[in-house]
Structures are given as structure tokens and as C-alpha cells.
Structure 1
């Protein structure tokens, strides 16, 4: 070695030592050690450590010698991607920005605007959420019912060409503002008044910008098979991925029919249609009392006028009795339970039969229909319908194309009597259906809650534990995780969700909120 190259070599060795020293002392903002890692892709687990810097996962493996500002020893715990709720009623988000009822379930992303009820104006609503300190990440769908009401009110007719074009422009506007797709609520007003052609034309606008179509089907009871067929036609005609949302077979006469609907999904996928489902893990649904009332009776907001006419009232009552016997009512007044009654709070948690007894009325179908009319005249109720079969729930859950959506409304302790899914959806699957019933394996369940859903939504760098991905992570105890919320005592947080990390920040630690809010509004097709 000559005298000229010696200093160069010394500098090279010095730089190499510095780099080696830096690599050995890599410091993380958050370090998770000794956990059983489920990466969200349906395999695993593997034991390892995860290093987080800022909002990203930067290292996975043996990080025994690493330094970190905060270290979580996850020995005996499962480390999963944060759970993704594919169907959430986020309407109270301004009042409940932490979304604690979801966050403490381990959910780190929720998709709002389902059942045709997306926010409007879309862009300004999302902008308003950017500054309120969200506890979780949120995204939204454009709601068909919202747009139809905006353009056509509650009228039962086809849109004019001008009205249809205006609705199409609104869908396009929502997609440009970051919507993940379009949702319909074809069982609800005014969506129930729309025909196939209208829905297809609007769905084409979402499809053109890589959106999805989610649908509360036109019927989930006696008309379920035809309603699934309609959704498949929409997928084909609009060239759009379809999610049969909160998929179910409701009403005693339809129990067991999930075998047919799942076969229809499989057949459609074989011919190239992109059909999936989401589901909540309960044998009871939740919606308004108006679902028992024939839709024609509610058209144009003229319900009060119609029930004042004795002839029309008789027809309305006949329709309600039919629905109690054959559809959502489950053939039993005790299967209809009130969750939210602003005008008679003492009814919350009680059944339609309880109300009849409170009024000193005979618990007959005719009297039940009379009180349903009274409830609607008073402003309606939130209502739980115990009208599904557990075997159908399990069949749908097992299907490889079924994701998880709570269909829960953001809730806070003491407010109303919500469906327990608002507090317990994800822990119930992990505890009851995985650990106790073994309907799913743990890797399968986590995949349905994370990677499968993220892929459906096109969420970039989320839903999987992988270097370079966002650090949305849930850590739970697989031996103890369980829902606590029940139909009689709903306001109870689950057990076993130990830590929840949102965009790299720990928002739940040892089962309690830390006071940090690090959620974001996520807009599809935007940075």
C-alpha cells in the first residue's frame, strides 16, 4: 500500500465502522417484541419483533439488540394488523371522534356511508373530519339514497334524464373527492323506488374510477334470492366489484337459504364477476321500525295522511302483520326489540310484546301492528330483530369471500340500547367463533378482518404486517379475547384487546385509552 492510498483506506474503514455502529444501535419509536405475528394474509403465525418509526413498520425479525423509546413485550399475545370494519355507521363521528366503541375492539379503519346513506356534500364533509382528532382511520362510500333524495326527494318514480345525469355527476364528484365506491340501500326509502337501470348507470360512474358497489339488498327475507340476482346483474352490467353487505337470510321461512346464495356467489365468480360479502357475527339484525311497514305507505312522507284513511290503514296493517310473520319480525312479537326510542325511553331494551303488555293490550299480531304504526307516527325507533338462524351465520362466515363488517353505529356508554355488534363484533369472532366454536382458524379470521378487506378496498400499504406498511396494529390475548356486550346489557367493552396502534401511535395500552388520537381520513386514489 502506498502513502497516497493509506488515508483513503483509513477513511473507508472509519465510515464502515460508523455504519456498522449505527446499524447495531438502530433506534425505533416503538418496538414490539416476542409476539406471535399474524401478518393478515391467512398464514402463520411466526414469532418475532416489529420495529416502528413514525407511522411505518420499518423492521420485522429478531430485533433483540434494538433500542426504542417504547417497548411492548407481547409474550403470549397475538400481533395482528389493525382490524378493518367494512360496514360502519359513522354518523355520530363528529360527536364521538375517538370512535371508542370500535377502537377498543381493535379496529383501526372503518368504512362509512353504507346502505345508501353516505354523507353529502362529500368533499366538504371529509374536509371537516380532517381537524377533529380521529381515533381511527376512516373512509367513505357515496350513498345512492342520499343522492336520490337530494335530487328527487321521496318520490316513487323513475328519474328524468336530467335528474339521472345530475346523480351521475354527484357520484363522479364523490369519487374524485376520495370515495371508495357507491353504496345502495334498496330496502330503504327512497332507494327502494329505484329500478335496475338507474342503479347500473350510477354504478358505472364508480366503476370508472376503480370504486366498488356495496348493497343492502332489495330484500333479505322472502325476496332474498331475486335480490342477490339483481346484485349480480349490477356487477356484470356496470363492470364493478360487488359486496353483498351484512349478508344474511332473515325470517324463519328463509332459514337455510344461505346455501343457495353462497352457491350463487361461487357461480358468479367462476364466470368472472367479482363478488364478495361482509357479515356481522350475530343472529339478529338492527334497523328502524319502518322496515316492517310497506314502502308504498311511506312514499312522499305521507304516512300520517294514509293511516288516517281507514281503508288504507287496514292495508298498511295487513302489510305489517305479513312482515312480522314472514320476514324481519321472525313470526314472534318477542323477537322485535327496541334499541333507541327518543320519545319513550323506557321502551329501550324492551320488546314489542313488552310494550303491548305495558299498555294493557292483548299481545296479538293485530295489536302489534297498531303499535308499529304508533311508533312510526311518533318518529320511529331503532329496532333489533332476532330473526336469523345461527347455522346461516356460520355458513356465511366460513365462505372464503366473506369479510367482517360490524354494521354497528358508533356508541357511547349509557346512550340508547344499541345492538351489541357496536361493541363486540371483532372480539366475538376471535373468542366465540374461533376459540370456542372453531368455525374459523385464527389465521383465517384475522385475514377476513384485515388483508382480505384491505385488498377489496385497494387500501395502499395497510391491512398487512409488512415492512414499509403503515403501523396499524392490534395486539390481543387469543386465550381471553371475547365480547362482553349483550342484547340485554349492550354498553360493555370487550376483554382481551390489549394494545391498539394507529399510524404508529399507541392509542390503547393494556386495554385502556392513552388519550392519543392519530387516525386519518383516507381518500381513495389520493395521497
Structure 2
């Protein structure tokens, strides 16, 4: 047989923004072997044939902002992502579980992760060790990562605030070079969190110069997405210029209503930078609420040196935090009114009564003001408490999605409701981001054409990552494919009921192997490690 399988008479959206066409696509091994007009490839030439009957065949979606590191340790199928059409998970915002060593303090993984992984993590001395471990355990999607900037900073400096010494900077450069040779796509800082926030602009520039040596990129959760959004964007652009490397802005947004008008100006600045020749892009998830820890409401100095939850028992620390937050210019980016804050990630049985309630309601139930409730809940839980912040504008989201340099991401991990529901609610973006764009913003609103939406999910992130053999349907490219019904694809997860799989994706292939068939996971785990250009140069 010439081909392993042929998908016939599909509405082919090639991922590059070209108009769709009816065609046949043949797969041989891991690659796309042929693309032809509909009906022109003979069924006799393939071991298996699937009649698409006019459904859309697109490249598999590439999530450039995934948090599946720990979920994949529990469950390699990555069900809530694969059922959206995601075939490649790119991780590493702020934190990666490797390399271990240096000044990194031991920490336990999430409660849903099997205990054996805690021991394995401690042995990962190089960045590439954890990705290879994922491939060995078997994963359905391809996996790749940036080096977490917070991990890098902690490796060299621990949880100390302040400038890095010359010796500490040299440690960071060494770790970066090793990570890039192991296949990291670049370095990723989340600059509203400690210890990432402890790194100043000059330090990040020096780190990024080492990244640039290997063809990598700088990815940033901006130092502010609210009051100082424009200043934070200027910092990101400055880092890119001084270190001479591309910039990717994670989950572009303007938080809190008084900052919503700044988004048009932020977009104008990025457009201006691009016109001047600077390579800068961004991604968004299609929701107007963000998700992070309840700890994000605290100043970052509380986390210096570790022991954050123990410190919050100290009345003096609480008084200092309160004075800062209630002062004229608090140095905290995540500030929302209590009625816009919904903590969901409670683990203690006694706190389950608060799941899904707004902070204003929780405080009233406890007879406290909201800040005192935050202090006590964090002390009680001893962990960050996953929290939803309703702080963004739908008009801004549409504006962001409309920019040609903005791609789609989830900012979430992949879960299976069967085991994840018992561990509490999550942000629905982990279950619905891609179908939500295709259902709401393409089919229902017409904000984007089908071809443009698919480009934002495929070739745009693939090009950003230098994965030029993925993210498009063309002979010789990897056979990462998704077949979906454009009239049925939709998200079902909500903030009230987040553990609901999307519908409308009928089949998904990863490296030529079907991982989803008639909407059901096949159990196959053909995912490979995808690596950045530094690895290719090292291998050669």
C-alpha cells in the first residue's frame, strides 16, 4: 500500500490563511504524503480510508501557552485538549520542573499527581530530562517548552529579592545555554509573580542575549496588565530590542474597567514596533476572566525567602500588606473588587462551602472584610488557591482576536472530567478555548473567517516556534490533523460547570496516529518532544 490512510473529500483549511478547498489528504507514517483535489486519491492505495463528507480538515492546533506539565504526569491523554483539536502542548510559563539544583527549594507537585513523580523530578538536572520523561511515559499530544524564567531566577538566586550578582548572572547564562541545547524554545517570565518579578530589566536582557545565541524567543506575562500596562509593554519591547530576539506577549489583556481604554493604545504600540521591524506577537484566550492564584492579590515581597503562608500568620505582616494595598499606589497588579473575585481551588474539606462563591460573599459568610478573609483562607489552605478574576472587556477581546499577529492559546492544562472534577473547579479555557473561537467568533459572530481563525491556531504559533514542519497541511509536513464539523463545534464548559468536554471535533491525528475517533479518545499516545532551533544546531 502506498499510504497508511486517506481522508477524502474534506473541506481542507491548510493553516496558512488560504481559502478552503475540497480535497483528499494522504498520510504515510508520521507525515502528510499527498494533497489532491477531492476524489482524486484512490481508496485502493491506502490501508484505511475516512470519508470526510465536507467536514473541515485542518492542521492540529498548537497551544503556545499550556499548563499541562502536571496534568500529563497524571494522564498522558490530555483529554480536554485533544477533544478541542490540540495536537501540540507548549509549556513553561514562569515554571518548569527542570532543571533541579542550584538554589531551588523542594516542593510537592499537585495533589492529583502520583507520588512517584515527586521523586523523579528531583533527579532532573537538565531541562530536557522532564520532556524526555514525558515522552517515555506516553503522551497523546506533542510536548515542548520554554525555560521558566522563575525557575531560572530561583536556580541562581533562590527567593531573594534584588539584583543578581555577576556570579549569579553567569549561572543563569549557563543554565539557559544548556536548556536551549536541550530544545527549549526560549525563556518565559511571568513578571507579576515572585521570583520572576525580582528580576529587573537589565537582568532579563542579559538572559535573553544567551537565548538569542540559539535562535530562541522571549516570552512574557507582562509586569503589569492593568495600571502600568503600557509601561510593561514598553519594557518587553525594550528587552527584545536590546537582546535582539523576538518577543511574544502572553495572554494580551487590559485588566479592570479603568484600564480597558489602554488596549487600543497597546495594540498601536505593537503595530508601530512591527512597522519599525521588530518581531513581536501575542496570544489570547477567548474569555473575559483570568485565572491565577488568590496569592496574586498580595505584594510580591511577602514571598521573599519562602514561607509565604507562615508569614501571613504574623499580624505585623498583615498590617503592612493592608497598609500597602489600601494606600494611594499599591504595588500589586492583580487588584479587583471582591465581587469580581471567585476563588475555586480549595483543597481542605472545611473550605469546600466557599467553592464558586465570590470573595464578597465568602467574606460576608465569615463575618470579615475581604482582605482578612484572603489572609485567613491562604493560611488555612497553605497553597495559592486557584481563583477566577472577572476583569476584562469583551470589546477588547474582539479587538485582540482581530489582530493578524495574535494567536489563540488556553493558558491551561489538559484534564479528564472523570478524575479532575474531584479536585475542584478550574477555568473553562482548558476545555473550550479553540471550539469557543470557532463556534462563537467564527460561526456565530463572523468576527473571523474560518481560515483566519485556523491560521491563528496552527501556522502562526508554528512559525513563532520555528516548527516549520507542523501547523500546515502540505506534503512533507507532520501529520498532525483535526477533523471537525464547523456547524457543530462548540464549547460547553462554563465557570459554574467547567469540567465539560467540547463537542464537534470528530477525529484527531498526532504524527499520523489517530488519538480521537468519532469524538472518543483511542488511548493512543504518539506524542513526540518538539524542540527549538537551538537543539537542531547543537545536534548538527
TM norm structure 1: 0.90
Query: Which residue in the other structure is 1:66 paired with?
Result: 43
Query: Which residue in the other structure is 1:87 paired with?
Result: 65
Query: Which residue in the other structure is 2:259 paired with?
Result: 254
2:393 to 389, 397, 400: 389
Are 2:255 and 1:278 aligned? no
Given that residues 220 and 249 in structure 1 are in contact (C-alpha distance below 8 angstroms), is that contact kept between their aligned partners in structure 2? yes
Structure-1 separation of matches of 2:332 and 2:209: 35
Task: Tell which deviates more after alignment, 404-413 or 392-401.
Answer: 404-413
Alignment of 1:403-418 (within 5 A): 403-413=407-417, 414=421, 415-418=423-426
Q: CA deviation at 1:309?
A: 5.1
Structure-2 separation of matches of 1:342 and 1:409: 18
Given that residues 338 and 383 in structure 1 are in contact (C-alpha distance below 8 angstroms), is that contact kept between their aligned partners in structure 2? yes
1:425 to 433, 440, 458: 433
Q: CA deviation at 1:301?
A: 2.4
Given that residues 136 and 519 in structure 1 are in contact (C-alpha distance below 8 angstroms), is that contact kept between their aligned partners in structure 2? yes
Query: Which residue in the other structure is 1:35 paired with?
Result: 10
Structure-1 separation of matches of 2:75 and 2:313: 40
Query: Which residue in the other structure is 1:78 paired with?
Result: 56
Q: CA deviation at 1:499?
A: 0.6
Given that residues 470 and 503 in structure 1 are in contact (C-alpha distance below 8 angstroms), is that contact kept between their aligned partners in structure 2? yes
Give the number of aligned pairs: 496
- Which 5+ residue runs of structure 2 have no aligned equivalent? 100-125
Are 2:242 and 1:242 aligned? no
Query: Which residue in the other structure is 1:349 paired with?
Result: 356
Structure-1 separation of matches of 2:490 and 2:323: 42
Alignment of 1:39-438 (within 5 A): 39-62=14-37, 63-67=40-44, 68-92=46-70, 93-117=72-96, 119-120=98-99, 121-301=126-306, 303=308, 307=312, 310-320=315-325, 328-331=334-337, 333-343=338-348, 344-359=351-366, 361=367, 367-377=369-379, 378-379=381-382, 380-413=384-417, 414=421, 415-438=423-446
What's the CA shift string for 1:92-129, capped at 9, x where partnerless? 12112111111111000111111354632312112212
Task: Tell which deviates more after alignment, 123-132 or 281-290.
Answer: 123-132
Q: CA deviation at 1:334?
A: 2.3
Q: CA deviation at 1:306?
A: 5.2
Seen in structure 2, the aligned counterparts of structure 1 residues 213 and 205 have a Cα distance that, compared at 3 Å, is same
TM norm structure 2: 0.88
SS of match in other structure, 1:506: strand
What's the CA shift string for 1:423-449, capped at 9, x where partnerless? 001000000111111111110000000
Q: CA deviation at 1:139?
A: 0.6
Given that residues 338 and 417 in structure 1 are in contact (C-alpha distance below 8 angstroms), is that contact kept between their aligned partners in structure 2? no
Are 2:511 and 1:500 aligned? no
Structure-2 separation of matches of 1:42 and 1:452: 10
Q: CA deviation at 1:345?
A: 3.3
Structure-2 separation of matches of 1:427 and 1:305: 42
- Which 5+ residue runs of structure 1 have no aligned equivalent? 1-25
Bigger radius of gyration: 1
CA-based RMSD:
1.9
Structure-2 separation of matches of 1:100 and 1:311: 46
Query: Which residue in the other structure is 1:6 paired with?
Result: none
